[in-house]
Amino acid sequence: MYLIGFPLLVIPFAIYNMIAFLTPGMAWTDKAASIRLISGQDWMMTPQDILLAFSVLLLAVEILKSTRMSMRAIVDHVLSMILFIAMLIEFLLVKQAGTSTFFILMVISLVDVMAGFIVTIRTAQRDLQIDRVEPIA
């Protein structure tokens, strides 16, 4: 699988930036679609909801990817950390990124970084077992 060394959360980050910079008049809370539920309630979806739901689904894939132990997985962790740092810098310095939508995307990226390292450390602990030697009587 070629996507092992590529952080998938770059995709929502790029989508956010394309929308924020190419369509400056668009609000993240505008109505994107409406679905009538069986209860009779109209569920209104916004671009923010769609992007965040998509990001959470990609986060689940990223966590599954972090269970593999290989050089690509390490590269993936490093790239995820770089992505989080880039998002943090953009959040702090760029006006268009100062929204709750971008903040939640950044938190999702942080969870990806933390989960990747935690899963890697836990699996490494399981692989490294030291047998306790009983003293000779």
DSSP codes joined into one string, 6-21:
S-TTHHHHHHHHHHHH
Q: Cα(79)–Cα(75) distance, rounded to whole angstroms?
A: 6
User: Angle at the Cα of 17 (from 33 to 101), degrees rounded to 5?
Assistant: 55
Specify if 135 maps to a domain: no
Specify if 2 maps to a domain: no
Q: Cα(27)–Cα(19) distance, rounded to whole angstroms?
A: 10
Task: Give how many domains the chain has, as a whole number.
Answer: 1
Task: Give the predicted TM-score (pTM) of the model.
Answer: 0.77
Specify if 132 maps to a domain: no
Per-residue pLDDT, 64: 83
Q: Which domain holds residue 59?
A: 8-127
Specify if 123 maps to a domain: yes
Specify if 105 maps to a domain: yes
Give the phi and the psi of residue 28 in degrees, each rounded to 5: -70, -15
Query: Lowest-pLDDT range, 27-31, 43-47, 65-69?
Result: 65-69
Q: Cα(136)–Cα(11) distance, rounded to whole angstroms?
A: 59
Whether residue 86 is predicted with pLDDT greater than 90 in this model: the reply is yes
Q: Cα(32)–Cα(46) distance, rounded to whole angstroms?
A: 5
